[in-house]
């Protein structure tokens, strides 16, 4: 029993290993696996997650920004790290820490090539990102000739991989669109290989892509949310385990009389006698105001306790009228019997948002290491 005495995000490394092995079971033996650990490993603990994944044999890591990659290098991570959204101001640090950039536009390609020339680099590994329908980052299909013109026979850089991103891999109604994306990517990569004179490895699938489009796993896949226990599908979620478990405690219990209000702006008024509990977490910890006023709920002694009134900066109040509990008792916000996806859905959002919103001031504790 992992007893807590304050608001705590427990990070279950055995759940992480379970999820990794589940996802690997969907792949061909030779397919490489990239673990996405951006945003502090989806709000958990980037360093401990990366160390566990490296011990399990993951082939690559991905972060969003250079400073995230530096954090991993400083922690002793030696595996290749792809920076998905590098900024030119960080190119020198990126090279110093042996990080690998995603080059996604003519401007970024030219600027990085200039830095590589200035530093006298030889065959520095880079990844070329193509936009096949997400319309976020990436070269266009008709940019292949220009890319090759810049890179072919150049000693400074070597294209290690070419990749793209599915826009709606979890949505069965968008399957025709996803298949068109895959077909476009295949065409691009074949043209690029032919003109470069060598074949970078390819990756396109995210977690939902691994599940729904295994025929397009190419030489590598990328998984973020799946590693943390969510597959964007109820059936898959049932086979994964949540890595992050957010718990807190009851600070104080109040007896509320009829017509008494609770919290800021008197947003909740009791119709009869109620019992409430005040919990030490609020919107400064990642539980936004959208979860208040009976939208979200927590679990106390396995029973649902709805959040009443407005969420405060450091506290929330919940209705415990029908729950036999006391001050100091444990409260589960999400992770056990209530997933982050379920909790997020109560406020019409998604697991990604609530997981990555948990504030750094919330204590992190590694369990089952």
> Is residue 146 domain-shared with residue 190, that is, in the same domain?
yes
Does residue 154 belong to any structural domain of this protein? yes
As a whole number of angstroms, the distance between CA 333 and CA 173 comes to: 32
> Is residue 219 domain-shared with residue 315, that is, in the same domain?
no
Helices 106-118 + 144-151 axis angle, to 10: 0
Does residue 51 belong to any structural domain of this protein? yes
Q: Name residues whose C-beta falls within 8 Å of residue 361's C-beta, 6 or more positions apart in sequence.
A: 284, 285
Q: One of 20, 32, 38, 65 is an active-site residue; which one?
A: 38
Q: Which of 179, 203, 32 is nearest to 129 (CA)?
A: 203
> Is residue 219 domain-shared with residue 284, that is, in the same domain?
no
Domain final residue, candidates 193, 228, 263: 228
Q: Which of 351, 364, 368, 286 is nearest to 47 (CA)?
A: 364
Domain assignment of residue 76, given as a range: 31-228
As a whole number of angstroms, the distance between CA 51 and CA 72 comes to: 9
> Is residue 117 domain-shared with residue 266, that is, in the same domain?
no
Does residue 295 belong to any structural domain of this protein? yes
> Is residue 66 domain-shared with residue 180, that is, in the same domain?
yes
Domain final residue, candidates 228, 253, 287: 228
> Is residue 219 domain-shared with residue 251, that is, in the same domain?
no
Does residue 9 belong to any structural domain of this protein? no
Q: How many CB atoms lie within 10 A of CB 342?
A: 14
Does residue 20 belong to any structural domain of this protein? no
At 283, which CATH number? 2.40.37.10
Does residue 46 belong to any structural domain of this protein? yes
38 carries an active-site annotation: yes
Q: Name residues whose C-beta falls within 8 Å of residue 348's C-beta, 6 or more positions apart in sequence.
A: 290
> Is residue 120 domain-shared with residue 170, that is, in the same domain?
yes
Q: One of 117, 154, 264, 303 is an active-site residue; which one?
A: 264
> Is residue 217 domain-shared with residue 257, that is, in the same domain?
no
Q: How many CB atoms lie within 10 A of CB 90?
A: 19
Long-range pairs for 105-108 at CB < 8 Å and ≥24 separation?
A: 105/137, 105/138, 105/139, 106/139, 106/143, 106/146
Q: How many domains would you assign to the chain?
A: 2
> Is residue 75 domain-shared with residue 192, that is, in the same domain?
yes
Low-confidence ranges of the chain (pLDDT < 70): 1-2
Does residue 99 belong to any structural domain of this protein? yes
DSSP classification of residue 55: H
Does residue 17 belong to any structural domain of this protein? no
At 220, which CATH number? 3.20.20.10
> Is residue 212 domain-shared with residue 153, that is, in the same domain?
yes
> Is residue 192 domain-shared with residue 260, that is, in the same domain?
no
> Is residue 249 domain-shared with residue 172, that is, in the same domain?
no
DSSP classification of residue 289: G
As a whole number of angstroms, the distance between CA 201 and CA 219 comes to: 6
264 carries an active-site annotation: yes
Domain final residue, candidates 228, 255, 274: 228
């Amino acid at each position: 029993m992992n007893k807590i005495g304050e608001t705590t995000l427990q990070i279950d490394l055995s759940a992480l290993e379970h999820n990794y092995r589940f996802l690997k079971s969907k792949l061909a033996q030779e397919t490489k696996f990239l673990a996405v650990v951006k945003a502090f490993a989806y709000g958990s603990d980037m360093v401990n997650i990366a160390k566990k994944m490296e011990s399990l044999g993951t082939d690559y890591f991905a972060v969003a920004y250079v400073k995230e990659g530096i954090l991993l290098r400083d922690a002793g991570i030696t595996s290749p790290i792809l920076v998905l959204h590098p900024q030119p101001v960080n190119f020198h640090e990126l090279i110093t820490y042996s990080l690998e950039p995603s080059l996604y536009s003519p401007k970024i390609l030219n600027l990085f090539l200039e830095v590589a020339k200035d530093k006298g680099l030889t065959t520095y590994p880079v990844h070329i990102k193509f936009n096949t329908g997400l319309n976020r980052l990436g070269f266009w299909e008709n940019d292949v000739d220009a890319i090759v013109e810049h890179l072919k026979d150049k000693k400074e850089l070597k294209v290690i991989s070419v990749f793209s991103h599915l826009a709606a891999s979890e949505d069965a109604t968008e399957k025709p669109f996803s298949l068109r994306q895959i077909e476009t990517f295949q065409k691009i990569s074949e043209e690029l290989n032919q003109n470069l004179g060598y074949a970078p490895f390819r990756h396109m699938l995210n977690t939902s892509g691994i599940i729904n489009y295994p025929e397009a796993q190419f030489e590598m896949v990328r998984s973020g949310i799946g590693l943390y226990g969510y597959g964007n599908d109820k059936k898959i979620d049932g086979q994964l385990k949540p890595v992050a478990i957010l718990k807190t405690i009851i600070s104080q219990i109040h007896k509320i009389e009829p017509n008494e209000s609770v919290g800021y702006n008197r947003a909740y008024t009791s119709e009869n006698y109620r019992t409430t509990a005040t919990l030490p977490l609020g919107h400064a910890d990642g539980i936004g105001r959208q979860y208040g006023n009976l939208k979200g709920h927590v679990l106390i002694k396995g029973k649902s306790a709805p959040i009443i009134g407005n969420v405060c900066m450091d506290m929330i109040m919940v209705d415990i009228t029908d729950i036999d509990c006391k001050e100091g008792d444990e409260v589960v916000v999400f992770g056990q019997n209530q997933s982050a996806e379920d909790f997020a859905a109560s406020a019409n959002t998604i697991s990604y948002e609530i997981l990555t919103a948990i504030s750094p001031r919330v204590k992190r504790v590694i369990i089952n290491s």
